[in-house]
Amino acid sequence: MQEPQEELFQIATLVVVVLIVIVCMGQLLIFVNPRVALNPFKPPPLTGTPAPTFPATYTPTLTSTPTNTYTPTATDTPTPTDTPTPVWTNTPTITPSRTRPPWTNTPRPAPTLQFNYSVSRGRCEHSGGTFIEGYVNSPQGPESGVRIRLGTSPGGGEIQTITTGARPGHYTFVLAANGPRPGTWYVWVVDASGKAISDPNAGRVVTNDIRNGEDPNACWRAEINFERR
């Protein structure tokens, strides 16, 4: 059970708290509205000239309009000082040329060399001597009694002529019995008057002095055959 003295202290505390709240509320009312009846020190009423009022839209009015005056500037008129001198131009006179008739190229017929014998080349290989040999054949078989000519140029040079006959259709030109004889040789068939009846250039043979018998380029023994057309 509380003592009477403690109850008095509690009541006094409650009264003080209530008074503080009331004072705070009064201060708040005075701060919000200084002219409230609770304020013993009210501010004096405001006096003065009311602020001017303007219409909703204010449009300034110009009192004077500036006018720009254009002053023309003097323009110099050019005075010609030099008179152009005319330049004479020579106009070439075109003289019509004579018209040539169209040129017609008439090809000449190529000369035809008709040989009675064609040439077929055989092999050329290493041998004990240097010589050229071959056969002359006709549709009936080996042909004997044919004149074969050898030269160092087509149709001339060192000329030798032999006639086939030792073996049917066979001929042999011995250039060196032993060893090489390098050079360029032509072999062809001629008739009784010495006219070529086979192409000398087709019977061209080039011999050399390559002594290695295994070398495929060695050429000591050449074979040239002729066939009657």
Q: Does 109 have pLDDT greater than 90?
A: no
Taking the C-alpha atoms of residue 132 and residue 130, their distance in angstroms, rounded to an integer, is: 7
CATH 3.40.190.10 fits 117-228, yes or no: no
Name the residue ranges covered by the structural domains of the chain: 117-228
Taking the C-alpha atoms of residue 209 and residue 217, their distance in angstroms, rounded to an integer, is: 10
65: pLDDT confidence band, cut at 50, 70 and 90? low
pLDDT at 129: 96
Q: Are 39 and 51 in contact (CB under 8 A)?
A: no
pLDDT at 46: 62
Burial class (CB in 10 A: 0-12, 13-18, 19+), 29: middle
pLDDT tens for 117-150 read 999 999 999 999 999 999 999 999 999 999 999 9
Is the pTM higher than 0.85? no
pLDDT tens for 171-197 read 999 999 999 999 999 999 999 999 999
